[in-house]
Structure 1
Amino acid sequence: MRCQQCQIQVCTKCIISGRHKNHDFLDIADEPQDESTINTSRGADGEIPPSETLANDPIIIQEFDSNNTDLDRICVCGPDEVWTSFMYESIISCMDFTGKVRDTFKIPSDEYAADISVKSEDELYFCDWKEKTINKYNKRDKSIEMVIRFEEWTPRAICVASPDAISVCITCSYNDELCKIIQYKAGRIQREIQDDGDGNALFPYKGGDIFLAENGNGDICVSLPANRSVEVVNRDGIFRFSYHGNHDVRSCQEFAPHGIATDRLHQILVADSDSGCIDCVSVDGSFIMTICCDLVDPRTLQINAQNDYLYAGEFSTGKIKIIKYMA
């Protein structure tokens, strides 16, 4: 469905939520399309644009309980397994879709992980903010190996984009406002991203959690909940855009971004914990649609690249919901 007043695509949940009260809606299938419209809507290479691959009504196809509340981070690590990390808990667990724990380990510092990211089905990276380290857990031999140690910086978020490429978002321990991203390639620092050409901070940090994702086009996407914004730079660290939510569909609620993920269409998915929805944004920062599927306090997101399903972890309930949002 499309809201005629807001001129955006919406799902059934958004309509009945009252966010588009007294608005008119048109079924996308009923919209007139002449031949010229169809031809110009496709790229030169014939690819179908993102708007034609999104489902009109995203649905939850499965959900399961992580058996705990304060669910902070999740990572897809297999066809039917996810890693889970909880706020204020030093235990990280791998569980299946029934909630059965298949593997678990304890963080050596006895603190919770600031973030987790999967390298392969057998290897999980995690940020130990207390010890200021990035560590790797090997599922096969149950070993924990320290990969990176920082001195005056604290790791807050991590993204393993490929087997030998790691991006880490860190904040300064002696100046809380300093925040930067270090990219590693084959264990060596490849790039540091902190300021623009004029010395302005690209990631103005105001405290709290940070969520990080790397897009398929090389863009780095940083969700800063305390700033109520998502900041995006390109692979060279050049500022691209800031996203502050879509106010046409948000009603009176402020944007509360948390978990962030990207899909094969280079779309950016952002969990808005206050509204209980997920914003879908184009690679250029344009709002596409809001996904509202009976979510409660969504905090962490992951895309399963095998089937394009979106995994949403709820902080207050501890539930993990698998959403089909592509047609």
Structure 2
Amino acid sequence: MKTTQKSPEAGSSPPVKQLLDEPETVTSIGTGYRSLYNVTCLSDEEIWTSGNDNLMKLFNINQEESLLKSITTKSGNWTYSIAVTKSGDLVYTDLDDTSVNIVKNEKIEEVIRLQNWGPRGVCSTSSGDLLVIMVSDDKQSKVARYSGIIEKQTIQFDDKGKPLFSSGGYIRHITENRNLDICVSDSEAKAVVVVNQAGKLRFRYTGHTPAPKNKPISPQGITTDSQSHILTADYSNECVHIIDQDGQFLRYIDCGLSRPWGLCTDTNDNLFVAQRYIKKVTKIKYLQ
């Protein structure tokens, strides 16, 4: 693991919370997909999910009859990634028709249509922009920042002109940290790549030894919390890595997870983990 300079916090600092000695599983719900991939928080109780079909489902994590609504994608394709905007609208990427779409009042609007690039992960930033990590037809990777339909920023190369992200059509997810760093899980590179708001490389996190199953990291979903921790799902080691905002390993969440994929946190720093094959979202408390 290689780290660079410190990054200051943006805005006022939240109350300091300590990591629990042992993370606690709060509850789990089934989702009904054949394979479950993504989860994102609408509120502290309501979560959007998506899997290997054309439905995006909204659940209440605390209700026995938890399914609240289902939305069918405009194209009929699977969603690659989902996120919730500051205003509470659902955003999803459609890799097959190279679009980024927003759901408002259960109606789907196309926000971005890409040419020669396929969108992977998407997130909504604190400023209301969208960050999209995408792969070109010739397998280059970049992050683009959008304000509405306007592309405001592209992040692709480091100061030496070398690609920041791996080539190939592999799994990539993205989130923004509290300090405005942009965090990308790059499964082909077996790394979490973090750049600052200007797109300058801060560090690459390549795992911690020993890992729960002694395998190289396979980062999938990625999220952050009020403490500016970065959390990424490790598909191969069936755990979640927690690192600080400067890339230092803090601990694993290793509590019987099965093929974790998507991650999100709510405003109380509860973690939600989408587990691919058992098709469940598990809520975990890991901070005091």
Q: TM-score, normalised by structure 1?
A: 0.79
**Against the structure 1 CA distance between its residues 320 and 77, is the aligned structure 2 distance closer, same or farther, given a 3 Å change threshold?**
same
Percentage of matched positions with identical amino acids: 28
Aligned to 1:22: none
Structure 1 segments of 4+ aligned residues over 4 angstroms from their partners: 47-50
- What residue identity is the alignment partner of 2:230? I
Taking only aligned residues, the RMSD between alpha carbons, in angstroms, comes to 1.8
1:106 pairs with 2:72: yes
Aligned equivalent of 2:218, options 244, 256, 266: 256
* Alpha-carbon separation, structure 2, partners of 1:222 and 1:269: 11
Aligned to 2:265: 303
* Alpha-carbon separation, structure 2, partners of 1:164 and 1:290: 31
Aligned equivalent of 1:320, options 274, 281, 284: 281
Residues 165 and 189, structure 2, Cα contact 8 Å, conserved in 1: no
Aligned to 2:131: 167
Aligned equivalent of 1:276, options 206, 215, 238: 238
Aligned equivalent of 1:143, options 107, 112, 119: 107
Q: Which runs of 5+ in 2 are unaligned?
A: 1-12
SS class of match (2:188): helix
CA displacement, residues 234-291 of structure 1 (integer Å, 9 cap, x when unaligned): 1111011111110234463221111111111111001111222111001110101111
SS class of match (1:247): coil
| Structure 1 residue 197 displacement after superposition | 2.2
* Alpha-carbon separation, structure 1, partners of 2:213 and 2:273: 23
* Alpha-carbon separation, structure 1, partners of 2:21 and 2:15: 15
SS class of match (1:79): coil
SS class of match (2:125): strand
Residues 65 and 99, structure 1, Cα contact 8 Å, conserved in 2: no
Aligned to 2:10: none
* Alpha-carbon separation, structure 2, partners of 1:108 and 1:186: 19
Aligned to 1:241: 203
- What residue identity is the alignment partner of 2:278? T
The structure with more radius of gyration:
1
Aligned equivalent of 2:186, options 224, 232, 248: 224
SS class of match (1:248): coil
Aligned to 1:84: 49
Q: Pick 1 or 2: higher relative contact order, CA cutoff 8 A, min separation 6.
A: 2
**Worse-superposed segment, 248-257 or 194-203:** 248-257
Aligned to 1:95: 59
